[in-house]
Each structure stands twice: as C-alpha cells, then as structure tokens.
Structure 1
Amino acid sequence: MISKMLTKYKSVIAYLFWGVVTTLVNIGVFMLWYKAGGNYQVGTVLAWFLSVLVAFFSNKVWVFNSHYSSVSGTLKEMLTFFVARVATLGIDIIVTWVGISLLGWNALLVKIIDNVIVVIANYVLSKLFVFKRSNIG
C-alpha cells in the first residue's frame, strides 16, 4: 500500500523535496543580500536566478526524469523553463513589494509566503509546459 502510493506520487514527492532545496536557496540568497543592506527587489531577482538554476537541473533529472537526449533538446527545455519561471518572477516581485513596501511585514515572513505561492505555480507550469514528453528531442 505505501509502496504503491510512493510510486504513484514519486514525482510530487521529489518536486516537494527539491522545492524545499530551491526555496532554501531562494530565501538564503535573498536574506543574505537584504541583511547586507542590498535593495530587496535586486535581492529578489538575484535569488530568483540562482534558485531557477538549481530548480532546472534538479527538476530535469530527479522530478520529471527528462534525460539529456541532445544539446538542442536540453537548451529548448532550459529556455522554456526560464520563460515559465519569468512568469512566476512577476508573482515573486509583486508579493514581496506588497508585503514589504505596502504592508511593512517582516521580509523573511513575506519571502516564505511568497515561496509557497511560487512553488505551486512553478510545479503546474513545469508539468504542463516544460518537461512534457514532446519537448524532449
């Protein structure tokens, strides 16, 4: 029973694990930048870029089992992945701006709430558009 559930939800479990790793990278980079006196919006973009790199390779290999069949296929996946993540970067920027600038909330709390929203949106976009079988070439 448990092994059937693990098999059935293997990609979701892997996504959640790597999502936590990616989230820690995102929050860690953001907070290091912010605590060092950097602008939170620049920190958001920097944290986004580094966490998207981690997310692409972990999602490709361990979540969606998309193998490196060709350089062009991998580059196409990477481009699609980054384009999809740009959409959620917009969400990221809006949530941090509303939470920090408008509401005056604690930056760490805002970043945690933000990451929950972004992780869910990223999974849907990756599943539907990035790592689908027809993209692998």
Structure 2
Amino acid sequence: MKVTWDDVTPNRRRGGDVRVLLSPRTVDAASGFGGALTLEPGEYICEHYHPYSEEFIHVVRGSLVMRVDGAPERLGPGDALMVPIGVRHRMENDGGEQAYVIFHLSPLAPRPELGHVDLETLPGAQDQPHLPVGAPGEGRANGGR
C-alpha cells in the first residue's frame, strides 16, 4: 500500500516534523516502521531511546548532529547511522538549511506505548497530540481499508 507525506499527520511532540509513513497502523507492517522527518535550522528531536528497536537514520538533505550516548556524530547528505537498541540519542539541526531524514525502526516493541522512552521533553509538548504507531488495522492511510 502506498503512503505519501501528505497522507500522514505530522507529529511535532518530540520536535521537528516527524511522519511515520509505513507502520502497523498505516499498512499493517509486522516487523518495523519507518518514515521521514524534517528539522528546520535550530530544531531538534528530544533525547530518547528505544528499548526494543534499532533505529536506522539516513540524511537525504541538509546536515545535523546526532548525539548517541552524548557523543556527537555529524551527518550530511548521503550519511547513514544505526542507533542500537536501548541507546539514548538526540538529533539536532545546527546548520543553516532544513534537514530531510529517512528513518526506520525494527523490530517492533510488544506494544506501541513501550517502543519509545523520552529522556527530555520539548517545551509545549503537552499541547501536541500523541500520535502512536498503533496496532495493525487502526486508522490506515488512504481510506482505512
């Protein structure tokens, strides 16, 4: 099933514009989920970790600093990085242009609410909706087949 950027509600709860495109919720994915995000200059994704999943990051456009267990790693267009299970990480756009990033996480947590542990909170995050990856068949894109 095809899912486009505009099919998905942006998640700004942890920073930037994060869109989970392919997931149990959107396409009945059973092994992981992925999507894309944009970070404007000065924006960041709050520090967090995934107790069940590895996270794969690929920078398409722009540049950013990934802090993995506090150590900075600069990434630019064409660079990729894997964050191991349980390792804290934070993504920051300290450049002068928008960063566009593709991500994928696998395997899935036993339940969606167990998949992400926040270690910091974005100011105003309580005003942002919680958009879970969800269980298969819940709220699929393109008409909810």
Task: Flag the structure with larger Rg.
Answer: 1
Question: Does TM, scored on the shorter chain, surpass 0.5?
Answer: no
> Could you say which TM-score interval applies, normalised by the shorter chain?
under 0.3
Higher relative contact order (CA 8 A, sep 6+): 2
Select the structure that is richer in helix: 1
TM-score between both structures, scaled by the size of structure 2: 0.25
TM-score between both structures, scaled by the size of structure 1: 0.26
